[in-house]
Amino acid sequence: MIILTNNPDVAQTFQDRNVLWVDGSYRDVLIEARDMIHQGRRLLTHPLMGSLKPNETPYRSVAVSSEQGDLDMDSLLLIENAIETFDKFAQVTRPDRGVNTPERMLADFRLIDLSLIESALEDR
């Protein structure tokens, strides 16, 4: 399993596992995941996990399989839909998200992202 993330808390927590650090945005994580699916990996977690909208939280973590096989259409459809949904929400910009977000709130966004991916990957 490979965990793609732009959330330092996830990278820290899963440091003993196979983490691929994405130095970029929520969308960059989705694009990285899409590229890996193009290379025959399967999605293991839902790319739109959590009810926080893509224009609220700047953090995203997604798990994909280490093994590569034939192109998995279900994974491809899921990730493409997720990118489309991301872009739909990006039309309403929230300037207080991301760059100008106060640190306390960023910490909360990191915590939610970490908690969701932790609960998904527990014991796996």
Which residues, 6 or more positions from 25, have their beta carbon under 8 angstroms from its beta carbon?
A: 6, 58, 98
Asked if 50 interacts with other proteins (CB under 8 A), we say yes
Closest CA to 10 of 92, 99, 121, 89: 121
Q: Is 5 helix (H, G, I), strand (E, B) or coil?
A: strand
Among 2, 20, 31, 46, binds other proteins (CB under 8 A): 46
Asked if 40 interacts with other proteins (CB under 8 A), we say no
Least CB distance to other proteins at residue 38 (A): 18
CA atoms within 13 A on the CB side of 18: 9
Asked if 116 interacts with other proteins (CB under 8 A), we say yes
* Residue numbers at the binding site for other proteins (CB under 8 A): 43-46, 48-53, 56, 78, 81-82, 84-85, 88-89, 91-96, 102, 104-105, 107-109, 111-112, 115-121, 124
